[in-house]
Each structure stands twice: as structure tokens, then as C-alpha cells.
Amino acid sequence: MATAQYGPGRGRNISAQDDRGAEIYRLPPKEDMDLRKQAEGRLIGLRVNRYSWWVHWRECADYMLPRRYKWIITPNQMSRGSPINQHILDSTGSLAARNLAAGMMTGCTDPTKRWFRLRVGREDSTMTSPTSLWLSECERILNLIFQESNFYPAMAVLYFDLVIFGTGVMIIYEDYDNVIRCYNPCLGEFYLDNDQSFWPAVMYREFTLTIDQCVREFGIDAVSPSTARLYKEGGASLTRELVVAHGVEPNDDARKFGIPEHFKYREVYWEWMGTASPQGGASSPPGILRKRGFHEQPYLAVRWDLVSNDPYGRSPGMDALPDVKQLQLEVKRKGQGIDKQVNPPMVADIQLKNQPASLLPGGITYISGMVSQGRVGFAPVYQVNPNLSDMKEDLIEVRERIKETFYNNLFQTISQYETRSNVTAAEIDARRSESMVMLGPVLERLCFEGLKPAVERTFAIASRAGIFPPAPQEIRGKNIEIDFVSMLELAQDAAQMAGIERIMQMVGQLEGVRPEAIDVVDTDYGIMKASHLLNNDPKLIRSPAELQQIRQQRAQQQQAAQQAAAADQAQKLSQGAKNLSETDVGGGQNALQRMAGGLGG
């Protein structure tokens, strides 16, 4: 199940030592040096282009999701676990974003439901044919791969990034144990760029790996000499971190960089600016950690909303950021007002103690003349009486505005019916489908940029691994299309199914009065259409050929039964006639003659 890989571990390695003990290195091939030079130059350019987005993301992270953002990629940063949500006093923004992400997860890629369907031409996996049976088995295997791997947890992270930052990236690699393995680069790590079709065809990133992780991933022969030395030292050196750069882009100039042309995309890893050697300074010669090719794009980059040729998207989190900032400020001011009411700053006569002034809650400012004014002891500097009820009302308004910006009113369907006890499932489904209609443009982009590449990538990996059964001869060489089963489509199917049920029920009631009424309805098509709308297994419905064979056998059996009954009746009549002919009734006549004569008379 190895991916299409070319030259892992190619690059520098230790070849000899001279008499003085200095290490002599074999330089990497020129194609590797050219690839690294090209990749480093592009990464620097992408970093410049991303700067304004980078700053905006940081604000969104500060106020809503601080743990999914990296401001600077720095190795050996031991303070990364310290509290970083100092801007968040009210978590409404984070909770609203989480609700939207959870709603999209349930509405688009619900692990408990079938959310995609394979199709060849007009035949999909719900029909009755060898093609449908094969497509259904492929769907079952793909769903099993998604459930057994970390696909769904990675998609949940992707949705959270998408609703707050407007851009989410997920890398899908092959995995020996679970077929696929997904990775979510966080905001601040990755860079995107569009191709001529405005498709995010270029993805670069910087991230940190420990010395141990780097050597285990790429091999000791691929890493820089300083990294190899630290790995051989062992102990604490294994936990030191280094910055690794990673690039994926279309495989242009394939021969120049030594990657076969039949791969559509190429990937390269290298140590960014080398690793500090024990003697100090960077000691990494120009080379790469790994390069390889891919038949399809190995990552998916999803954007919430786009403007022109922007490689990064805009999000509800960006729209809600001013309201979230306002909420934090008002919550702070409300807390200060309550604190000054409960523990106000105080004043005291200068004769009591000579101390500097303080306006902090509970602080004391010493002034002269209080005794002469008949005031002794302590007294508040000023009376604080904020209108807390107005502040609470304004906070409620801001919170509701944030929730509405994150579409929470669309996804929290059940809670909107708390005052009613007679809510039907049809009403709830209709409200959910309405939610998906409101997010229609976003969902279309999500399917196009995210879900379709994810299914295609997984299908290709499983196909190359030989996991699928052999395809029927009639579909070999044809394109397999992917249809996504959204909540809106399920609601539409349910409405069609209800119409079929009503017409079948009406015909069944009329059949007892007018049997010819059943002739109006094509019951075979109705049953197959209902099974399709219910998304049933194609094995449930027999194919037209099997159905025709069964009906022919039944007709033959009925015809044979009728012939047997007719023959039995004829035999009974013949036996009766024989018995009558043998019965003497006198006068030289038998019973049969007497009956015949009587009939003739």
C-alpha cells in the first residue's frame, strides 16, 4: 500500500572522514539542489503575500480560538503550553463557532449516515444492476475506511478552522494500518496559492519536529549531518526541535527535478535553514529530506467565502470579530462596575497615614481636612452606581448578534420549539433543510473544494491498494462521479417518498371497488423509486432480468397447474362415462344410453 513515491531519503549522507577527523559529505544531486532552491524561493514569496491574512488570523485566534493558531514557527519553544487566551472574558464567540462547526459536521459529513453516493453515468448505488452492486460495495468500503481512520476527527478540526479563520487545510496520506491518515496544519503553519483556474493548487508549510521524529520519518541518511549527530548522541538531544519545510505543488518541470512526469503533483520536505551544530552556526548543505509524486492532490484546502483571486477565505469569525471585541470590553466594564460597587476605592484623612493615592477597588487615598469637615475614619472616593440592567440587556443583544453571525439560529432547531409539545419530525427536517439552504453557496464550495477531493483521494488510495472488488466489465474505463447526500436532498427525497406512499395507499383502497384502478400505476417502478429515495441497499430490489425470470417461472407454474387441473377433470369425466356405460339399467340399455336417450328426447 505504498504511495507513489520517488526517491525517499535522497540527499546528503556521510561518506568518509579525512585524517583530521573532519566529515566529508557527498553533495546531493543537482536536481535536488534545484528543487530545494525553487521551493525555498516560493515559500518566501508566499510568506510575504500572506502577511495581512496572518495578522487578521491572529486577532480572530486571540478572541475565539487561540489554540489553533501559530504566530511564529519557532523550535524549542517551551512556553507553548502556557495560557494564551488572555483576551477572552466571555466565551460566547468560541461557543457559537463550535456550534456552527458541529452543525456543518452533522449536515455534511455525518459519520452515522450515508453522505456521499457513487455514480457511473445515470446508474448509482441504489439501483439494481451489477454496476450498482459494485458501487454499493465500494461505498461500504470507503465508509469503513473513514470510520476506522482519523478522517472524521480531522474533519471536525477542519470545520472549526473554516468557520473562524475562513480557511482550513487537511492532508491525506496513505497508511499501512488504516489505509489513510489525515493531518491538520494549523493556521500560521501553511501557505496557499492559486493556479490559473483560481484553484488552491499550491500548499507550503513550516512546522517543527523533534530530532527523533525527523530521523524516524525521513531516515538518518536523509537528514543534515548536525541532525544525524544529535540523533546519535541520544538522550535529551532527541527531544530538540528543528523547523521542517514542506511543499506540494503541480509537477511542472518534472524532469528538471527528477520526479516522473505521470505524477500530477510533487511533494518535497527539507530542513529549513538547517540545524544548529554543536560548534554553532547552520550546518546543513543544500539538500532535501524527501521528494515524491502523487497521482492526485494529497491535500484539500477549503475556503468559506472568496473574493477574486484570493487564496485564503473570509469567514463568519471575521464578521463576528467586532461584536466579539465589543462583548469582551463590555463584560470587563460590567465586572469593574460590580467590583467598585462591592469594593470601592476609599479616602482617609492625611493624619491617619501618609500613603500614595490609589483608585483601585479597595485602594485608599489619604487626603487632609476630613476631620475638620466632621468626617472621620474611611469613606468612598465616589459613589458608584452603574445601571447593570441596561448593561445586561446590551450584553444579551451582542451575544445574540454573535450567535446569528455564526448561524446558530439555523442549526439549533430543537431548542426553538421548547414552548411547543406537538412538534413533528417533518417540521424539524424542514427547518434543518432550510438551514442548509441558507448555507447553500458555502456548502457547494465545501463539496467542490473539500469533500470531493477527499473521497477521490481515498478512493484512489484504496484502488491502488487492491481493496475494492474487480469492477464489472461494462464500466471499466468510465468516470465515477460523486454525489453528496446533503440534508436538503434527504428532505427532498422524503417529500417524494411521501407522495409515492399516498398514491399507493389511494390505489390500494380503490382496488377493492374498482380492480382496474391498479392498472394505472406502474408498481414496479414505484417500488424501485421508493427504494432509491430511501437510499436502500441495491440487493434489496431484484434486477428487471431476475424479476422477469421469476414471473415467467410463476406463469409457467400456473399454466402447468391449469393444464393438470383440466386433465384431471377430463379424466374424471372419462371415468364417470365408463362407469355409466358399465351400469345395466334393464331393457338392454346401460345408464349412459339411458341418459343419452333421455337427453335426445
β partners of residue 23? 17
Structure confidence by residue, pLDDT tens digits, 524-559: 667 776 666 666 666 666 667 777 777 788 888 888
Contacts of 280 (CB under 8 A, 6+ apart): none
What local confidence, expressed as pLDDT, does residue 129 receive? 78
C-alpha to C-alpha distance for 190 and 207, rounded to whole angstroms: 9
Q: What pLDDT does residue 591 have?
A: 65
pLDDT tens by residue, 211-268? 999 999 999 999 988 899 999 999 999 999 999 999 999 999 888 998 999 999 999 9
Position 194 pLDDT exceeds 70: yes
First to last CA, the chain: 97
Checking if the pLDDT of 7 tops 50, the result is no
How far is Cα 452 from Cα 388, in angstroms, rounded to an integer?
51
Mind listing the pLDDT tens digit for each residue in 83-131?
777 889 999 999 999 999 998 898 889 888 888 989 888 887 777 778 8
How high is the pLDDT of residue 203?
97
Categorize the per-residue pLDDT at 276 as very low, low, confident or very high, splitting at 50, 70 and 90: very low
Confidence at residue 426, expressed as pLDDT on a 0 to 100 scale: 60
Helix, strand and coil content of the chain, in percent to the nearest 5, comes to: 50, 15, 35
So what's the pLDDT on residue 405?
92
Amino acid (one-letter) located at 272: W
Highest-pLDDT range among 104-108, 171-175, 330-334 = 171-175
Answer yes or no: is pLDDT of 316 > 50.
yes
Residue 512's pLDDT band (cuts 50, 70, 90)? confident
Burial 246-260 (b: 16+ CB within 10 A, else e): bbbbebeebeebbbe
- Please report the DSSP string for 455-519 in residue order: HHHHHHHHHHTT-SPPPPGGGTTSPPEEEE--HHHHHHHHHHHHHHHHHHHHHHHHHTT-GGGGG
E strand residue ranges, 176-327? 179-183, 190-193, 202-210, 241-250, 265-271, 290-294, 299-303
Beta carbons within 8 Å of 41's beta carbon, 6+ residues apart: none
Strand stretches in 368-414, DSSP E:
378-380
Q: What is the pTM of this model?
A: 0.76
Residue 277: partners with Cβ closer than 8 Å, 6 or more residues away: 225, 226, 229, 283
Q: How many CA atoms lie within 13 A of 449 on its CB side?
A: 28
